[in-house]
Amino acid sequence: MKYLHTMVRVTDLDESMDFYCNKLGLIEVGRKEVPAGRFTLVFLAAPGDEDAQVELTYNWDPEEYGSGRNFGHLAYAVDDIYDICQRLMDKGVTINRPPRDGRMAFVRSPDNISIELLQKGDALPSREPWSSMPNTGEW
């Protein structure tokens, strides 16, 4: 058995691609348009880890999917938790659970999918502004 991907439904493909690729840093590794089924599938992966994919499913006919909280979350190991959180904030992404401990943070996609960011290896030393930053919303 081999893990292939996790599928999340998105309501705005352009907005989701901007978040996952331009802000979070994933790359598109595949795309499939299915006119008969009226949907588009886009496969994304972290650079260098193309076997572990996220499948964005965009249904062409509008649909509401709820909060995404029942899904749980996607998780990615990062080289520098503070650097990626600052980069995301600079691009307008809310840090829902800041990396106060130098180890873990949470953000949400445009469709409210929770994304966990975990520091590779040991936690980084705690530092400001992160150590005193409060949680925002749900994560």
- pLDDT tens-digit profile of 23-33? 999 999 999 99
Report yes or no: 97 and 88 within 8 Å, Cβ to Cβ.
no
Mean pLDDT score across all residues of the chain: 92
How confident is the model at residue 5, as a pLDDT? 87
Minimum mean pLDDT range among 3-7, 34-38, 82-86, 89-93? 3-7
Strand order in the sheet with 95-97: 73-78, 114-119, 104-108, 95-97
Kindly state whether residue 53 falls inside one of the protein's structural domains.
yes
Query: Which residues are CB-contacts of 117 (< 8 A; sequence separation ≥ 6)?
Result: 75, 76, 78, 81, 84, 85, 99, 104, 105, 106, 107
One domain for residues 53 and 1: yes
Q: Which domain holds residue 112?
A: 73-134
Query: Which residues are CB-contacts of 74 (< 8 A; sequence separation ≥ 6)?
Result: 6, 8, 54, 113, 114, 115, 116
How many domains would you assign to the chain? 2
One domain for residues 81 and 28: no
Look at residue 77 and tell me whether its pLDDT is greater than 90. Answer: yes
One domain for residues 40 and 18: yes
Kindly state whether residue 9 falls inside one of the protein's structural domains.
yes
One domain for residues 95 and 120: yes
Which residues are part of the catalytic machinery? 116
- pLDDT tens-digit profile of 84-101? 999 999 999 999 999 999
Q: How far apart are CA 70 and CA 95, in angstroms?
A: 20
How confident is the model at residue 70, as a pLDDT? 60
Look at residue 112 and tell me whether its pLDDT is greater than 70. Answer: yes
Alpha helices in 12-63 (DSSP H): 13-17
* Predicted model pTM: 0.84
Provide the residue type at 17 as one letter. Answer: M
Look at residue 58 and tell me whether its pLDDT is greater than 90. Answer: yes
Kindly state whether residue 105 falls inside one of the protein's structural domains.
yes
Look at residue 62 and tell me whether its pLDDT is greater than 90. Answer: no
> What is the DSSP-derived secondary structure letter of residue 19?
I
Where residue 99 sits, what CATH number does that domain have? 3.10.180.10
How confident is the model at residue 71, as a pLDDT? 75
